[in-house]
């Protein structure tokens, strides 16, 4: 048995269909600036008010992958949690996230392969109840048993 699993980690043996976890986060100007620095994506639609005003978004928006990172946070911290390994992710960007927006990120278990320790997750992010990102993830979940 693995006795050193972090608190909050849900092992494959305990994951159930329909199980959900979520988080909420306000995306700030600082978040956008730090993401631009780390990713090296300095597209002015994210960083320059004057430039962004003349785009289809009519103002600055957060990087789509910053928003997607919130899905990663739910998976890595809550469901299944620490020790989870990402195997794949699909994403569809449905709407912009703006500085100051409260983003709701949720994952839901839609498939379990106990023998392979794989979990399929429906993933989405929403702002004010409107989906801004949707997709599916496949992860390798931690187990209480050694392989």
What is the Cα–Cα distance from 80 to 139, expressed in whole angstroms? 9
In the prediction, which pLDDT does 104 show?
98
- Name, in order, each residue with C-beta under 8 angstroms of 20's C-beta and a sequence gap of 6 or more: 79, 106, 107, 108, 109
pTM value surpassing 0.85: yes
pLDDT (tens digit per residue) in 2-60: 456 567 799 999 999 999 999 999 999 999 999 999 999 999 999 999 999 999 999 99
Could you tell me the domains of the chain? 12-140 (3.10.129.10)
Residue 1, pLDDT > 70, answer no
**Which phi and psi (to 5°) does residue 49 adopt?**
-55, -45
In the prediction, which pLDDT does 147 show?
44
In the prediction, which pLDDT does 3 show?
53
19-40 per-residue burial string, b: 16 or more CB within 10 A, e: under 16 = bebbbebebeeebbeebbeeee
């Amino acid at each position: 048995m693995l006795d050193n699993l972090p608190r909050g980690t849900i092992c494959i043996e305990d994951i159930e269909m329909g199980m959900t976890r979520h988080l909420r986060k306000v995306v700030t100007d600082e978040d956008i600036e730090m993401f631009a620095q780390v990713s090296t994506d300095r597209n002015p639609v994210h960083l320059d008010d004057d430039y962004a005003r003349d785009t289809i978004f009519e103002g600055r928006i957060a990087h789509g992958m910053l928003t997607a990172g919130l899905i990663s946070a739910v998976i890595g911290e809550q469901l299944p949690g620490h020790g989870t390994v990402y195997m794949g992710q699909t994403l569809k960007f449905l709407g912009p996230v703006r500085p100051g927006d409260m983003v709701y990120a949720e994952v839901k278990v839609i498939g379990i392969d106990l023998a392979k320790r794989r979990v399929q997750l429906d993933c989405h992010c929403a702002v004010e109840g409107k989906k801004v990102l949707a997709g599916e993830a496949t992860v390798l979940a931690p187990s209480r048993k050694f392989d």
